[in-house]
Amino acid sequence: MIRVTDDNNDSDGTVRRSTDSDGTQRSPTRRAYLGSIGTLTATGTSAGCIALTTGDESGDTTEFTAGTFANVGGHCLDCVSPSPGWAISEELEARSGGEIQMQLLGEDQICNSTTCGGKAGRQIIEAGYGSIGNGTNFWPENNIWLLPYTFPSRASLAYTLFDERIWDQYWVPFARQYGIVPFYAWTPELRNLLLSSDATEIAGGRVRTPDDLEEIRIRRTASRPPKVALEEWGATPPELSWGDTVQGMDTGVVHGLETWSGVGIAGGMDAVMDQVTLVEFMSGQGVMWANTDWLRSLPDGHRELIADVTRELTEEAIQQADEVIDDRIGHTDPPEGTAYAAADITVNVLDDDELEAWRERVDPMENPDLYETERSRVEAMDLPVDDFYEYVHGIAREPAVPDSAADVTVDAWWGEYLDRI
């Protein structure tokens, strides 16, 4: 059986809706999700790993579990923090004639965003969610993706992460070391500073320069690069669980947090926000991670279909990034008709000179000593390419990077690399 634990660690937030935005009910896959919660609750004390069917001898049936933090209304493509999770589950069932069943189990029933990836790696579940930042709990080498200003845009982030050269030079060696691969991805964003009214009072108005952060406490993830950047900017970066951050901002324990806007709104941070400063300094990328031994155990036809569907819907999630930011969230000043407008949140859109003031203090190319820990960890992987960070930095800026995420395509995917892992 699946072992259920009561995890009380950090989370990237909870999407609060329980139905689609148009009020329609979910498919039988979603009802199966609800039924499985009861089964898990009843059997959650049983020890051991998963005993789900992953393809019988005839290859007729594949059932698998993907663990996540979100509630039953989350993981939709039309959410403010979009994920293709439900769409993948439903597409797999439809295109396989019911032979492939993906159960997306959320609400922290089997894991949360700081534990799901590790459970997938240990084969407790087949796949588990974790942002790249939270995934550094298990895979510290992934801190290399969090170095500030590595990616000039959302399009650059998605283009680079899933480029065939990155699969060759990083994800394949990473999978050999940890037995895990990126299975599908959320809509990409870049991280910003989400600030409370206390921060506005301390700064004496809008936060537009690093000097404005003096005496401001910014909640951060447990990964090291955000801590380095916030300290270099003059802020105090305490660790605080995601679940306590709203109350912490409301009571003044912290004055804000660094995260990407969509997940901040989905997690209820907009209720205690007064302004957001668009420093866009670090990758904000949710990922579902899958166990490579499980993927290799699948019947060939099922594995190929799962690879096709996860790639196609990851691409769809990526390509809507600009629409999400512009029309749903509101990275404009004023953000009329968007989530930030509805919450009466001031959006600080910085000009090039203002952005440079943030960038120059923490840019890894100009300040390499700040990130020696992260670069040394990756060098210890003995990757095929010399100086992997410079390699990534160059790909993220090459002329082929599209101007818009709408033009990013996913041309290389995990299904092509399993025989090399």
Question: Residue 163: what pLDDT?
Answer: 98
- Single pTM value for the model: 0.86
What parts of the chain have a pLDDT lower than 50? 1-58
Residue among 153, 78, 83, 80 at smallest CA distance from 329 = 80
Tokens of 224: 């090291």
CATH class in words for 28-142+153-188+285-325+389-420: alpha beta
Determine the pLDDT at residue 73. Answer: 59
- Which residues lie closer than 8 Å to 166 by C-beta, 6 or more apart? 160, 392, 395
Query: Is 366 in contact with 118 (CB distance < 8 Å)?
Result: no
Virtual torsion, Cα 318, 319, 322, 326, nearest 10 deg: -100
For residue 313, the model assigns a pLDDT of 98
Task: Give residues with Cβ within 8 angstroms of 351, minimum separation 6.
Answer: none
What does the pLDDT look like over 47-94, one tens digit per residue? 233 333 343 444 589 999 999 887 655 679 999 999 999 999 999 999
**Residue 35 to residues 48, 105, 251, 286, Cα–Cα distance (Å):** 21, 10, 38, 26
Handedness of CA 173, 188, 231, 130 (dihedral sign): negative
Which residues are bridge partners to 180 per DSSP? 291
Q: What's the CA gap between 147 and 372, in Å, rounded?
A: 11
| Domain spans, the chain | 28-142+153-188+285-325+389-420, 190-283+329-376
Looking at residue 71, what is its pLDDT?
Answer: 65
Contact 150, 366 (CB under 8 A): no
C-alpha closest to that of 301 among 58, 12, 25, 7: 58
Q: What distance in Å separates the CA atoms of residue 128 and residue 107, rounded to the nearest whole number?
A: 13
Q: For residue 303, give the amino acid letter.
A: R
CA nearest to 273, candidates 202, 346, 349? 346
Phi, psi values for residue 101, rounded to 5°: -125, 115
- What's residue 107's pLDDT? 77
> First CA to last CA across the chain, in angstroms?
28
pLDDT for position 3: 29
If you classify domain 190-283+329-376 with CATH, what class do you get?
alpha beta
